[in-house]
A and B are shown apart, each in its own frame.
Chain A
């Protein structure tokens, strides 16, 4: 086992643990905190995949903005005051479905013959990404920014509420 692999396993273990925490924690705030852990783990995975830019974006967008947003939403909706079980009645089916899915996917992954050299990750530099984004992908990039803006305006309109409310 190379040291890179060792690092991967550690990071993978942290990520999976965080994810497990997200879906199993009894306390919703704990769930959110576990989510931060998982997201940071994924950022580390990006580093291992030689995509530093993605790792930085991941930390900024997810670890920062999205998580904070979720925590705000939790506070605003007072989720902890809502009674009743946190899991729905179809939890056994959910577990079964997830297991079956995991099984089939892992099987598919191990059964597939990947083309080329599957042991060596090629570094994609920030320069290359930036160039690609503003040349080849310029149009989707603009559309994505439009979508983002529309959704944020929509979110504001939805969250603001009626006049006099």
Chain B
């Protein structure tokens, strides 16, 4: 069988890539997609821990379901905000939305 380490390392790679995307990208939609990658990494971790370490309670699986639910809600809201930002100021790049500085 596949050792748990493999899944955890895969999750770490996905998380790092997501982090890179969040930090490097300018476009709000792309950042959102990177955040989704990070969420996927977290979900993989949950499931891996659940099925390998705590199969009797499988809390991690339930958590993964909730993560998916919250991610869906988050995507819906975030895209609405991006849409609003674009309509009001014709921008989708987060570094241009800096009205709140100083």
- Which of A's residues lie within 8 Å of B, judged by CB? 2, 4-5, 8, 12, 15-16, 19-20, 22-23, 28, 31-32, 35, 38-39, 42, 45-46, 48-51, 53-54, 57-58, 61-62, 65-66, 69-70, 72-74, 76-79, 82, 84-88, 90-91, 93-95, 97-99, 101-102, 105-106, 109-110, 114-124, 128-129, 132-133, 137, 140, 144-145, 147-148, 150-152, 154-159, 161, 165
**Is B70 an interface residue, CB under 8 A from the partner?**
yes
Q: How far is the CA of A127 from the CA of B99 in the complex (A)?
A: 51
Structural contact, B80 and A156, CB atoms closer than 8 A: yes
A residues near B3, Cβ cutoff 8 Å: 118-119
What A residues does B7 contact at CB under 8 A?
Answer: 45, 49
At the interface, is chain B mostly helix, strand, loop or mixed? helix
In the complex, which residues of chain A have a beta carbon less than 8 angstroms from the beta carbon of B75? 66, 69-70
In the complex, B2 has a CB within 8 A of chain A: yes
Bound-complex Cα distance A128 to B19 (A): 34
Which residues in window 8-55 of B have CB below 8 A to A?
Answer: 8-10, 12-27, 29-30, 32-34, 36-37, 40, 43-44, 47-48, 50-53, 55
- B14→A19 contact, CB < 8 A: yes
| Bound Cα distance from A93 to B19, whole angstroms | 11
Please tell me if the beta carbons of B5 and A109 are within 8 angstroms of each other in the complex. yes
Q: Which residues of A contact B27 (CB under 8 A)?
A: 28, 79, 82, 86
Interchain Cβ contacts within 8 Å, total number: 254
Residue in A8, A51, A79 whose beta carbon sits within 8 Å of that of B47 in the complex: A51
* Beta-carbon contact of A54 and B2 below 8 Å: no
Query: How many Å from the CB of B15 to the closest CB on chain A?
Result: 7
- Decide yes or no whether B97 CB sits under 8 A from chain A: no
22 contacts between A and B (CB under 8 A): A16-B14, A19-B18, A42-B14, A54-B68, A70-B33, A82-B92, A86-B26, A88-B25, A91-B23, A94-B24, A97-B19, A101-B12, A109-B12, A116-B52, A118-B5, A119-B1, A119-B3, A120-B1, A121-B51, A147-B69, A148-B72, A155-B77
